[in-house]
Structure 1
Amino acid sequence: MITGPNGPTSTRGVVHMFPGQGDFSLTPLLRVLPRVPSLARALAEVFGEADTVAAEFGVAPIGPRLAAPPALGTGGSALGAVGPVLSTSGLAGESPGTVQLALFGVSVAVHRALEADGLRADRILAVSFGEIPALTAAGCCPIADGARLACRLGQLLTGAGGGMTLVGAAERRARRLLAEAGPGAGSVVVACVNHGAETVLSGSLAGLAEVESLAGRQGVAVQRLRLPFMSHHPALAREAGAFAHYARRLRLEPPRRPVYSVVAGRSYQRDTDLPRALSACLVRAFSLPAVLGPALAGASLVVEAGTGRTLTTSVRLATPHIGALAPVFDGEWPVPLPRPRPPCDPPGREDTRPRRTVTDARRSTTGERDS
């Protein structure tokens, strides 16, 4: 058993979710990192390998800019403790592929840190760009090749143009907006359905602006995503072909643990054409509510291996019977504090006693109470 914010949870049936590019910010990472030494170690390890290929794409290494001396009282390294604080907006102004390299490395590091602290993933759920770190975590390729895929994808998408807009409405309502917006919005398509009240559109900037204007007049909330390109759009067929061609230059092995692709709507098998599957994420739309049931069948706990909580929110709405956590975004690292094992424990015996979390320990010393 492991103790999370909502009480004891079984560690069997654990799923790690790897998000796409639309929900990536370094701010939550900066906040939680000083309290989670395992995450600081994982970041150093992952970027120590990922940065070895950064120069191939004209990208400045990420790891050295994350490294900092140990912060007093934290027991670990503090991201951004010295020097300028990194941000995704700052990275977006650098060479194409920089943000993608950062997202790739952070996602793999969060996954590794969770596993180092006892939350091993029995299954992996991959969403869009998240397929690259997910397949890397599943043993399909070394970290250096995963970093290559991330950087190359960033280069291809940066030249594609367009953008993406989050609509605070169900898919049916979003499609009605598209129909009513007229021919000027003809390039805009439904790209992603996060849950019953949130849909993402993709297309030209002019088309998105027209839909956003109409939505505003009808009282529908919209928000342009901080992505300088569109994705999940059929117009990206050329970029998808180029990405598949590049991926075939690398040696991608079958996954060593189950990986469920939200875009493909199924688990990847030993004979899956992984380069083709990865490229499909550029052109194919997806609906999270439609796939979460089979993707999470038998799961007891789902943990987001990223810095946001969009996936966690979708899981909580679609499958409320399954525990779902966004440990970096929420600042609640759901793992036990280390404590010595009794010397008389026989080898291999599982300790099932409830353990305190980092959050529980902080509350016991500060008098903090749940509201």
Structure 2
Amino acid sequence: MTEKSLPAASYEQEIFNSASAGRRRSREELVALLRTWLADRFESEDLQLLDPRTPLGAGTSSETVLATARWTSDGRSQSRDIAFRIAPDSFQLFFEPVFENQYRVLEILHREGSVAVPEPLYFESDTAILGLPFYVMGQVHGRVPVSSPPYNSAGFLFEATPAQRRVAWETAMDQLCRVAKVPVAQFTILDEPRYGESGLVQQLEYWKQGLDWYCNGEVPDEVHQLDEWLRSNVPPQAVNGFAWGDARIGNMAFDDTFGCVGVFDWEQANIGGIHQDLGWWLFFDHFHSEGRGHVRLEGLGSRTETISYWEDNVGQLAGDTTWYEIFAAYKVAILSIRSLLLVHDPNALKVESNPTLARACQMADLRTGP
């Protein structure tokens, strides 16, 4: 009897369940600790944390808890919707994550003011509180186009009119372009000279050094081939620039008018150049449409429209985006391997269990399999 991988329909739920199971305390215990800590910050003995919950479509790289804080200040009742983000516990998706950098990037972007990020409120590095560092930010109210099921097949964008989808796409693209125009000089905290001189070389070296960790010491040949291909074909015009790192519509929130009101998830932020985000965006646009057998919804921009919008609003030529799309697929394939290993999938290291790895090899014209 042959071993089988997790069915696609249950894969993301299994990952989420494993991440949740690896946490060191119950939701009730966590909320009680956070309430005591926040009451101290707000100097309020009567502070309550109401309606604690996990956001719809939450990822697994960190734990996120939403709640409403209610307290009394100077005799007046106060309330604020907030979000707690807690560093990875035993379920660690990224190699050597620098958790505090997420918060510092939020601080820089919020201060700069052009990108719609949540307001950062507090960072707590003292692990005596929860056993892990965490930070607090203001909530952004809106709907997120989740990836399971893909937004091209269900959800609020699927149910919207083409005109409403167009508003969502254009305002999302506007935010993507705004990220590209934030001066890279503000992000010295993301410079990693131990990995190389330029930001893009640093990114390549970071992922290479993490391969054994991601793959439990058994790196598939296809992953090594992709690493060699990427290094041999680095775009000659690459320059440092601030990259979001996880640039996709699924990491954005939209209000009732379908305008983009929030940009989230900065754990992959780096200074490897703005073309990375365009490549990542194009990769995921394909992945959540044709890549999963769905027709792109009318109103959401095509590949050609996306590149044209980016060029017109960033003021740079996109050039040949193939390298950046392959780099995106390479990273996603590695993260997929890591996720499958964490849920003990017996075929985690096989290319046939990793369509993203197969696609990356196909795009780079590399041979796969024995």
Give the TM-score taking structure 1 as reference length.
0.30
Structure number with greater CO (CA < 8 Å, separation at least 6) is: 1
